[in-house]
Amino acid sequence: MSRAGTSADTLLGGRVRLLQPAEGYRVAIDAVLLAAAVEPPRGAGVLDLGCGVGGAALCLLARRPDLTVTGLELQPELAALAIENASLNGVAERFRVVTGDAADPEALAGARFAAVLSNPPFLAAGRGSRSRSASRGLAHLESSLDLAGWVRVALGLLEPKGRLTLVQRADRLADVLASLAGRVGAITVCPLWPRQGRAAKRVLVAATRDSRAPGRLLPGLTLHGPGQRYTAEAEAILRDAAALDLGASGVAST
């Protein structure tokens, strides 16, 4: 049951229960796709940088119960919901939420992680119209960190050979790649096509710290088929908790 000002929703075909603001910032499929693309070593510690109400972290834990996740979230009201959602899904011991600014990662007390996943603010400061919701505005517009700074912090929180995975607007792919240049290897780009023949609006980008492996551009994932139905590959990820393989195929796998 939701309380005043929140709604009770589900992800992954009901595997994840989620309390989130009824208005303002709300979890979208970006978080589910991001979680599906993360494949850390067994038993690893993972950081969700800017975790919001915990949607991506909870989806990852639903698929990979061997992991532990730390979430860092700037907005106290979203962090409080993330803590509540961890309990709601029975993973409070495996999902720790810290309230703090990504610009000050000392809130994490020097911790390093095998994987970092993040859905950074999409829009540069001064771009786009001002949201009527302050919470939504903070989630979507850069504030204390620009995108390059966000990536720098994320890379600094990785263990050697750790993997960073981001979801970002396709029109900011050049900015993401510029922020990674010369610092990582095995950069992998996976376009998310709204439907066949349409330009991608989102991309997943992954990179490995302390690697010199070459980069790859994957075929990507087509989200919708005829009408408004998801493709079988997208449905497997969004409803059945399949992984989104950022290996050679770049398509869903169970």
Asked if residue 44 is part of any domain, the answer here is yes
Instruction: Give Cα separations from 25 to 63, 113, 207, 217 (angstroms).
Output: 24, 27, 27, 31
Which is it for the CA torsion 147, 151, 152, 157, positive or negative?
positive
Task: Answer whether 186's CB lies under 8 Å from 165's CB.
Answer: no
Q: What is the mean predicted confidence (pLDDT) over 217-234?
A: 95
More confident position, 48 or 106: 48
What pLDDT does 66 receive?
A: 98
Confidence of residue 132 (pLDDT cuts 50, 70, 90): low
Q: pLDDT tens across 4-45, in order?
A: 789 999 999 999 999 999 888 899 999 999 999 999 999 999
What pLDDT does 183 receive?
A: 92
Instruction: Specify the CATH number for the domain of residue 82.
Output: 3.40.50.150
Phi and psi, residue 202, nearest 5°: -130, 155
Chain mean pLDDT for the chain: 90
Question: b/e string for 7-30 if b means 16 or more Cβ within 10 A?
Answer: eeeebbeebbebbbbeebbbbebb
Confidence of residue 250 (pLDDT cuts 50, 70, 90): very low
Domain count, the chain: 1
What pLDDT does 65 receive?
A: 98
Question: Nearest-5° angle of CA 104, CA 107, CA 109?
Answer: 120
Asked if residue 228 is part of any domain, the answer here is no
- pLDDT over 90, % of the chain: 78
Task: Answer whether 139's CB lies under 8 Å from 56's CB.
Answer: no
Confidence of residue 139 (pLDDT cuts 50, 70, 90): very low
Which residues span the domain enclosing 89?
A: 6-190+202-215
Confidence of residue 248 (pLDDT cuts 50, 70, 90): very low
Task: Answer whether 12's CB lies under 8 Å from 241's CB.
Answer: yes
106, pLDDT greater than 90: no
Question: What gap in Å lies between CA 174 and CA 221, rounded to an integer?
Answer: 20
**For tokens 């996740």, what's the residue?**
69
Asked if residue 246 is part of any domain, the answer here is no
Asked if residue 197 is part of any domain, the answer here is no
What pLDDT does 114 receive?
A: 98
Asked if residue 221 is part of any domain, the answer here is no
Q: State whether residue 216 is helix, strand or coil.
A: strand
Asked if residue 125 is part of any domain, the answer here is yes
Phi and psi, residue 41, nearest 5°: -60, 155
Confidence of residue 192 (pLDDT cuts 50, 70, 90): very high
Q: What is the mean predicted confidence (pLDDT) over 44-54?
A: 97
Q: pLDDT tens across 69-98, in order?
A: 999 999 999 999 999 999 999 999 999 999
Strand partners, 222: 193
Asked if residue 234 is part of any domain, the answer here is no
CB atoms within 10 A of CB 109: 7
Question: What gap in Å lies between CA 34 and CA 77, rounded to an integer?
Answer: 23
Asked if residue 173 is part of any domain, the answer here is yes
